[in-house]
Amino acid sequence: MMRYPLWIHASMESLFLAYNDECDSARVNHIRKQLLATERYRVEGYMPFTTWSKTKLGCSSDEIQRMIEEGVARASATLIMIGPDAAANTWIRYAIERSYTLNKPMLALYINALPDERGCPAEADINPLERFAVLEHGHKVYLDERYRSYTWNGMEDGQFELWLELAKCECTEFRSRSQISGVHAVTMPASHTHTDADRTFNTANL
């Protein structure tokens, strides 16, 4: 495991990148390099050679889940990368669930306009946060209404830092209300948007 000097730990924060590694690795690597170039961020979750897809090659789901759990736990926020096939991706969904459970700030980034390894942009998929909801005082509220989404436009204009700080502030406010009202989180079926839930879990004890 790579070890960082103490001064780096004190001044850098870690971001977990949740993405579909089968079609968005090149796009996410572009963003990863920009984040690292600022020397303000460390990156969790980016694994070359399609690590998240390796259940097909013998790596167990439990091992991948553990890697995601550990990465999300270390991170100060989770970035949900929206490319051409994001909403139904098993590991993006799992990262969202773990991030919510651990009370991590989240923001979604549309990255489909960035070129893939062939130099081609793509059409954006549905925001994966639309597939999750919470019940507030008996009313269903979808997570895309609580966690913002943006189109990635690089680091030059300083917008990303503002987005991240806003996500942290809004996450604290949102979860404070959730704890008071005994919110239940709802995971939506992978094939639907803003529809009935397939299961619920009580967040009052998280």
Domain for residue 1, yes or no?
A: no
Among 34-38, 55-59, 109-113, 185-189, whose mean pLDDT is lowest?
185-189
Q: In total, how many domains does the chain have?
A: 1
The CATH code of the domain that includes 33 is 3.40.50.450
Q: Which domain holds residue 13?
A: 6-202
- Residue 81 falls inside a structural domain: yes
Work out the average pLDDT over 54-78: 84
Query: What are the φ/ψ torsions at residue 86 (nearest 5 degrees)?
Result: -115, -40
Residues 6+ away with beta carbon under 8 Å from 21: 28, 47, 50, 51, 52, 53, 91
Average pLDDT over residues 3-7: 41
Residue 194: inside a domain, yes or no? yes
C-alpha–C-alpha distance, residues 175 and 100, integer Å: 9
Q: Other CB atoms closer than 10 Å to residue 170's CB: what's the count? A: 16
Instruction: Tell me how many degrees the CA angle 86-89-93 measures, rounded to the nearest 5.
Output: 95
Q: How large is the average pLDDT for residues 43-72?
A: 76
